[in-house]
Structure 1
Amino acid sequence: MGTPATSGQAAGLVVAAHGRHYAVALDGGGQRQCYTRGKKSGPAVGDRVLIRMEGDQEGVIVGIEPRRNLLYRSDALRSKQFAANLDQLLIVLAPEPEFSEDLMGRALVAAWSAGIEPIIVLNKADLTAALERARARLQPLADLEVHIITLSALDAGQVRRALDPVLHGRRSLLLGQSGMGKSTLLNALVPTAAAATQAHSEALGTGRHTTTSTRLYALPGGGEIIDSPGFQAFGLQHLSVHDIEQGFPEFAEAIAHCRFYNCTHQHEPGCGVLAALARGEIPPTRHALYRRILEENGAAQRY
């Protein structure tokens, strides 16, 4: 810890969060239910914290150790922290119900801008016909050398064979829209998690959110995995213009050829990114996402 524990205090790891209530696993053993005081931003699962003991089972979080990274989303109304100090982000997708390329793209931008390695887990591999369409939609990311793992979460043995080498010794966040099979995947990785699963409703074309809190699990083969509630929106208003550019690694080489140092890659003459887009080297869908995020953040007006 950056701040050493004194008498009546203890250091630990935030292993679960629900609202402003946190479960902290203490370094010396045991777990405490903790909360924060005041309106300042609270900790996230994966944070190292210092707590002041209260009674036999509770505590107040009084300090947070500096983070390596923090993955979160934000819009004009609120922010939602997913997890801290991550090595990688596993984005769970499926051929059915159809996943949102916009939401997936935003999660990738958030990960890349925070220096977190993204991995796509394409679930429901048994849906053969739909699977090929999903792979075609993911081809631009495969071209960027994003690791894409195809499996069926219903086959626990297959899940462990595919993911154990990827997860071993690392802290990973499991993230996905509702209906993608995220909870089934977690149950295959951590049988003791007893995560609730909800059958996909064919009539509605969507699944129900089955995870209501964020929780860290130790993996049987080593490493940690954090499960977070499904999401239907992914605002990125906390990102700077530079952060947004970092979220589009396919722009990097082209940016070096921009005529203007403060190019927005939208309309400027001599823009390397627009030239690469015209040559077909950057997918139009990715550039369109970049422009949407800039517009939402009001970044274009800052130049």
Structure 2
Amino acid sequence: MVWNPAELPDAHGRTVVITGGNAGVGYFTAEQLAGAGAHVVLACRDPERAEAAVAAVRRRVRGASVEATPLDVTDRASVDALADALLERDRVDALVLNAGMVHPPRERTTDRYGNELVLATNVLGHFRLVARALPALERTGAARVVTLGSLATRLGRLRLDDIQLEHSYTSWRAYSGSKIAAQAFGFELERRLRASGSSVSSLVVHPGYSTSGRTPGIRGVNQPSRAKRFADNLQAAWTQGKDHGAWAPVRAVLDPDLTGDDYLGPVGRTKGVPTYAHPTRFSRSPRTGARLWPLLEAAAAQRFDVL
């Protein structure tokens, strides 16, 4: 089907949880889904920024149904609390794994459990959350897990013998490697869901090259400086706003024709309406997924059997 981001399918009656939904692509995913009628839950670390995002969605979307809930993806207790809360809901139609660290520290840093911080933020917290909250999606039926990948997967490597980057850390390796791991997790999750006969699907998308300087200004959500606007607009030929970057995860949530075999990204690779794209062979490889899965279980301290 031809997908038109301006004419979304009706989503009334659906509940969508978005991690890190207070800014960037996550915020605009929330706003667009709320505009389609979904009840949107913003799972965010900073309560003030979360409430600012909730207020913005309500200002910009008439009749929006939206709420915020706490989530720090680097804190296992916080992840577990959200999973428990999701298990108590009547339905969870989609879980969008959006929260992440885009600007890694220059020096290797770890979380409180000793995991490299970018991996912990971009992958491990989500792995633990899905493992614990999956029964809520199973109960809903035909629910979806949507993982935010990145074009950075084409420009870096993931060494499975050093996923914590104890021997080879750079900020770029941390970011690109975490996104490769995120995509590989999403694809492996889909394979395991299909093997188990589950009604839940796992889809992976990427938002292209989306920058804040080309994104609509919203009080408390996106307020780039004039200098940032100027610099980002110099790249207008190959960039887009984060509102357009959200088109891919929104389609992954709403398009009834999609399956877990599909990978979405902008039609122009870096910008444009979302269409079928091609992930890297490494991230999609069943061998990669099979080798990565136990490493994630160990690092997240979370066994994940898809039954």
Higher relative contact order (CA 8 A, sep 6+): 2
TM-score by length of 2: 0.32
- Report the structure, 1 or 2, having the larger helix content: 2
Report the TM-score when normalising by structure 1.
0.32
Give the number of the structure whose residues are more often strand, by fraction: 1
